[in-house]
Amino acid sequence: MLPFKLIYHERYDLNLGTHVFPSQKFRLIRRALLDQAIADEDDFLRPVPAADEDILRAHTADWMRKLKTGALTASELMKLEVPYSPELAEAVWLAAGGTILAANCALRDGFSANLGGGFHHAHPGHGEGFCAIHDVGVAIRTLQANRSIAKAIVVDTDVHHGNGTAAIFRGDASVFTLSIHQENNYPAYKPPSNLDLNMADGADDDEYLGILLPAVEAALDEFHPDLLFYVGGADPYCEDQLGGLSLTKVGLRQRDLGVFSAARKRGIPVATTLAGGYARRVEDTVQIHVNTIVAARDTAIAFPSTSPARLH
Ligand SMILES: [Zn+2]
């Protein structure tokens, strides 16, 4: 049994078939966590779809209406890069509800993980790159509206820049956005995050961790967030089809452990989401995401108290 909750819904799977986005990974990650005896059935919670009023905290009414009615234009569909279906809309509403639930569980337990979400390319008024609704943006704004948190940090380690996150929170001093990504990769235009760590093609474990971990520590010390949202992409992996960095599975696990322990040492709860992962072998993507949950468990065991061992 895990010391925190995992959030999952079987409708996260979009049944996209041979699409490069392996939406079956959500189901496979849950299965692997059970098969590897990392989690048991009692560790899972089922989310409900986010309320429309919460979706509207991060998105325009026009975009929400288009998603609910299937009224996307041809160019909006091209940008989204996944076919529209009512099931897609249901899945992204559920993913947003899942990240809200993960955030609330993290405030209680110190950690929680949505085994979905991390749709960091979604913008207020359009979708992009497989991302229709920005679940993390919706969750942050919802918890702020409910006065559960005042300030949040987003640590985005997907290999692609968190352009939607930057667009949603530009000019919002209550949210610190940090993205580490491959500079020469999608999206072509990268609206500025509070901190963008641009990695060169082929950067390896040492280069990546040497840049990321000190930056996270400094951001936490400077910003004092109430909650850290981790967008834990599996696509910095060296064998990813849509990524051009050279991280190993060991390096990716050190990445997760480093970020989680930096937060935990400071008493900052962590809500994780999955984001991208397009390894040639889907089982590699699944295992990298599973390892993120193991890193959260190991960090929770290493630092059992959720009260701050404050460094400040
Ligand atoms: Zn990505």
- What is the SS3 string spanning the chain? CCCCEEECCHHHCCCCCCCCCCCCHHHHHHHHHHHCCCCCHHHEECCCCCCHHHHCCCCCHHHHHHHHHCCCCHHHHHHHCCCCCHHHHHHHHHHHHHHHHHHHHHHHHCEEEECCCCCCCCCCCCCECCECCCHHHHHHHHHHHCCCCCCEEEEECCCCCCHHHHHHHCCCCCEEEEEEEECCCCCCCCCCCCEEEEECCCCCHHHHHHHHHHHHHHHHHHHCCCEEEEECCCCCECCECCCCCCECHHHHHHHHHHHHHHHHHCCCCEEEECCCCCECCHHHHHHHHHHHHHHHHHHHHHCCCCCCCCCC
Rounded to the nearest whole angstrom, what is the distance from the C-alpha of residue 129 to the centroid of ligand 1? Answer: 8
Q: Which residue has the tokens 């060991």?
A: 250
Rounded to the nearest whole angstrom, what is the distance from the C-alpha of residue 235 to the centroid of ligand 1? Answer: 6
The mean pLDDT value for 296-301 works out to: 96
* pLDDT band (50, 70, 90) for residue 134: very high
| Cα–Cα dist 267/154, whole Å | 16
- More reliable by pLDDT, 49 or 304: 49
Q: Percentage of the chain with pLDDT > 90?
A: 92
Rounded to the nearest whole angstrom, what is the distance from the C-alpha of residue 280 to the centroid of ligand 1? Answer: 14
Rounded to the nearest whole angstrom, what is the distance from the C-alpha of residue 21 to the centroid of ligand 1? Answer: 10
* pLDDT band (50, 70, 90) for residue 309: very low
Rounded to the nearest whole angstrom, what is the distance from the C-alpha of residue 310 to the centroid of ligand 1? Answer: 33
Rounded to the nearest whole angstrom, what is the distance from the C-alpha of residue 241 to the centroid of ligand 1? Answer: 10
**What's the pLDDT at 311?**
39
Rounded to the nearest whole angstrom, what is the distance from the C-alpha of residue 257 to the centroid of ligand 1? Answer: 20
**What's the pLDDT at 100?**
98
Answer whether residue 310 shows pLDDT above 60.
Answer: no
* pLDDT band (50, 70, 90) for residue 307: low
Answer whether residue 101 shows pLDDT above 80.
Answer: yes
Rounded to the nearest whole angstrom, what is the distance from the C-alpha of residue 308 to the centroid of ligand 1? Answer: 32
Give residues with Cβ within 8 angstroms of 296, minimum separation 6.
Answer: 4, 111, 113, 256, 260, 270, 272
Mean pLDDT over all residues of the chain?
Answer: 95
Rounded to the nearest whole angstrom, what is the distance from the C-alpha of residue 273 to the centroid of ligand 1? Answer: 12
The mean pLDDT value for 171-186 works out to: 97
The mean pLDDT value for 166-170 works out to: 98
* pLDDT band (50, 70, 90) for residue 308: low
Rounded to the nearest whole angstrom, what is the distance from the C-alpha of residue 134 to the centroid of ligand 1? Answer: 14
Rounded to the nearest whole angstrom, what is the distance from the C-alpha of residue 233 to the centroid of ligand 1? Answer: 6
The mean pLDDT value for 228-249 works out to: 96
pTM (2 decimals)? 0.96
The mean pLDDT value for 109-114 works out to: 97
**What's the pLDDT at 304?**
82
* pLDDT band (50, 70, 90) for residue 23: confident
- More reliable by pLDDT, 226 or 303: 226
Rounded to the nearest whole angstrom, what is the distance from the C-alpha of residue 304 to the centroid of ligand 1? Answer: 32
Rounded to the nearest whole angstrom, what is the distance from the C-alpha of residue 298 to the centroid of ligand 1? Answer: 25
Answer whether residue 306 shows pLDDT above 70.
Answer: no
Rounded to the nearest whole angstrom, what is the distance from the C-alpha of residue 8 to the centroid of ligand 1? Answer: 20
Rounded to the nearest whole angstrom, what is the distance from the C-alpha of residue 307 to the centroid of ligand 1? Answer: 33
Rounded to the nearest whole angstrom, what is the distance from the C-alpha of residue 76 to the centroid of ligand 1? Answer: 19
The mean pLDDT value for 85-97 works out to: 95
